[in-house]
Amino acid sequence: MTDTSTSANQAVPLIRFTDVSKSFGGAQALRDISFEIRPGTVHGLVGANGAGKSTLIRCLAGVNPPDSGSIEIDGELVDIPNPQAAGELGLAFIHQEMSLIPGWDVLRNMSLGMPLVTAGGLIDWRPMRTKALAVAERLGFSFPLSRQVDDLSTADQWLVLIGRALMADARLIAMDEPTASLSAREAERLHAIIRDLVASGATVVFVSHRLDEVTDLCDDITVFRDGTVTRRVVGERLRKAELVSAIVGKDLEIPDHGRDVIDRGDEVLRISSVGDGRMVKDASLVVNAGEVVGIGGLVGSGRSELIKAVYGASRFTTGSVSFDGKNVAFRHPSEAVAAGFGLVPEERRAEGLFLDESIAFNINLARLDSLVVSRLLPFLRLSRGRSRAQAVANQVTVKARSVSALAGTLSGGNQQKVAIARWLIDPPRVLILDEPSRGVDVGARAEVHDVIRALAERGAAVLVVSSDNEELVALCDTVYVMVEGRVSGRLAGPEITVDHLTHLSFENHHERGDAA
């Protein structure tokens, strides 16, 4: 373990972990974790999915107290048996699955867990409103406290959660993947708020797979691998390549431009001037057999709405979609699947997986019909289903004791592999993936990319939506960039670079080349 320290590290740490260990069912999640979190800093926690970051945060939050070791706050040993105790110690936690109450307004969500003043048996909201208004002004809310949280953007929902932490006068705020669903501009706004919080004396624990923002934003970084701390950096900047090496245990190539131009197969999917009357205005692109085509652009540019219109989750009102030379207009995703489409949705937990079902069930879901004994005997051949699920799970290196384990027990990266493995049993003609590496660590991302490339090499036409320009550079043969519902440009082969993609993402519908 490398421990680089500065004179600033001599102050009493806000948090000190000493030999913290935690096991679940015989599996060691944390092994003798020891490090410190300095007050008034942004402390980054990075590592592969399942490396131990979230387990450590749950120990600090009182959700899963450690089996052994100790936690100190301000140099004093503390016992954190439950989340209430963590809150009383001034610790706040914002998880990736946001804990907002649908149907409630901003004020009530910000006040959740706070002691409320009552008068005559009724809640007196005036003291809460006064405090919430001060917090809202500090965070720069552009929406009223009376707005329902359901109507807010993801970025604004994050502000509400940060506001809740400030309402509770939290000294430390832990944020798990706060920018995973944000555009570049929204992420920059959040970064500025985090810097302001730290400047005013708060401490932020920042968990992210976006390594560029970790190296730019964080004062200190702790790297986890397989339940242990493999590197600590205190008060210094770490190059991204060094961070990648510490996370995966080996050097990974980070490409600076796209792949060589390939000999494309026959045209499989053509989208021509498609609009949905809302977010998509006039989008055109082509996907050929054996090709990985990316759709880039900012969040809100119409990318996800376009693919939903293509596979039948919504309707397009103008233009046409051609599949294997024939015009199609699917009324439901099931029609698209029957025709030869596969889909890995953006929200894998809510839309892509049944978390309370087994890995085997989730992998076999698209082809359960092939497990039916006969029309007269509508029973499933479960042993055959487990066998073929195990085979494809091995192909994508799903890390689980068996395919009988529940999908909800897996890390985010392994859940994503299960969602992709579903389409390996009988590969579709067209595979659409919306944000395939969101919330996935750098090592698992490389494995997911290998699976996607292998599907393309077997002849599938692959369409990838991604907010991560580096992912588009590393993965795609062709990239179309969308701006405000239209394609602003097309890049192919070596001309796919982060700079080119960023430039096109902010262009005002300047057409660069033909969509075909």
Do 2-248 and 266-340+428-516 fold alike per CATH?
yes
Instruction: Give tens-digit pLDDT for 314-367.
Output: 999 999 999 999 999 999 988 999 999 998 888 777 777 888 889 998 888 876
Which range (247-261, 330-344, 431-445) has the least confidence?
Answer: 247-261
pLDDT of residue 275: 94
Which percentage of the chain shows pLDDT scores above 90? 44
Domain residues of the chain, as ranges? 2-248, 266-340+428-516, 354-426
Whole-Å CA distances, 450 to 340, 363, 435, 457: 22, 18, 15, 10
Output the pTM of the full model.
Answer: 0.61
pLDDT of residue 121: 72
Q: For residue 436, what are the β-bridge partners? A: none
Structurally, at CATH architecture level, domain 2-248 sits in 3-Layer(aba) Sandwich (3.40)
Which class does domain 266-340+428-516 fall in? alpha beta
- List CB contacts of 509: < 8 A, sequence separation 6 or more: 483, 484, 486, 488
pLDDT of residue 97: 66
pLDDT of residue 116: 75
Identify the band that residue 511 occupies on the pLDDT scale cut at 50, 70 and 90: very low
pLDDT of residue 49: 66
Which percentage of the chain shows pLDDT scores above 70? 90
For 91, the token pair is 């610790």
| Overall average pLDDT of the 19-26 stretch | 87
pLDDT of residue 19: 97
Contacts made by residues 448-452, CB under 8 angstroms, sequence distance 24+:
448/396, 448/413, 448/416, 448/417, 448/420, 449/474, 449/475, 451/395, 451/396, 451/417, 451/420, 451/424, 452/292, 452/420
**Whether 291 contacts 496, CB under 8 Å:** no
